[in-house]
Copies of this chain bind each other. A is one copy, B any other.
Amino acid sequence: MTYTATEENYIKAIYHLQHVHEKVSTTLLSDEMNTRPASVTDMLKKLESKKIVHYQKYKGFSLTEQGNKTALNVVRKHRLWEYFLVNKLGFEWDEVHSMAEELEHISSNELTIRLDDFLGNPAFDPHGDPIPDHKGKIKIIKQESLAAAPLKKTITVSSVKNQSTEMLELLNHFKIGIGTKLKITRRFDFDESVEIKISTLPATIISKQVAQNVFCII
């Protein structure tokens, strides 16, 4: 089965929302897709006829097995291309999203497999998000945000939730990147800011907002 780019975008959006929200509603999905609820209803009917979603009108919808597999394949392609753009073409994190949004719809499976091999079968993309393998399998790692991680243990930054230019700018300033080892030396109750220490650099303080977006392996 092949799907249009639009269908794939809907499938991916449902997949993502299912991982963040208890229940995915028509309105929520229309927000995510920047369309109107009526358009979502139309698409749901189409995706139901293609056995991508279970759908009962007025009741709700969810991805079928087939839908999930398709979503994972799109996510896989997106993240492999992001990896390529950053690690082979030298783009920064915050520049690659829209390009990967286009590249993820290139259809050839063989291309995906060869790209994966060319890149050395990476398990994580430049933001630290896991890349599903060709069977859709994802490496799960236990992560904790810096806002919740324990004090005085050496921990490794593993992913960053917010992928904006502004966030990248800040993290570059702090010399924080994926793989950076650091220690949380203090937490301040007043604003829940966090003092961190990276190797021999002087300790610095990051805001709660930043800490909540940076995840690490304990």
Interface residues of A (CB under 8 A from B): 85, 88-91, 95, 98-99, 102-103, 105-108, 110-111, 114-115, 118
Contacts and interface: CB of A to CB of B under 8 A. Distances in A.
B99 A115 contact: no
A102 B98 contact: no
Contact of A89 (B91, B99, B105, B111): B111
A102 B103 CA distance: 9
How many of these chains are in the complex?
2
Contacts of A89: 111, 114-115, 118
A102 to B, nearest CB: 5
Contact of A111 (B85, B107, B110): B85
Contact of A106 (B103, B107, B118): B103
Contact of A114 (B91, B102, B105, B108): B91
A106 B103 CA distance: 7
9 contacts: A85-B111, A89-B111, A89-B114, A89-B115, A95-B110, A99-B108, A102-B105, A102-B107, A103-B106
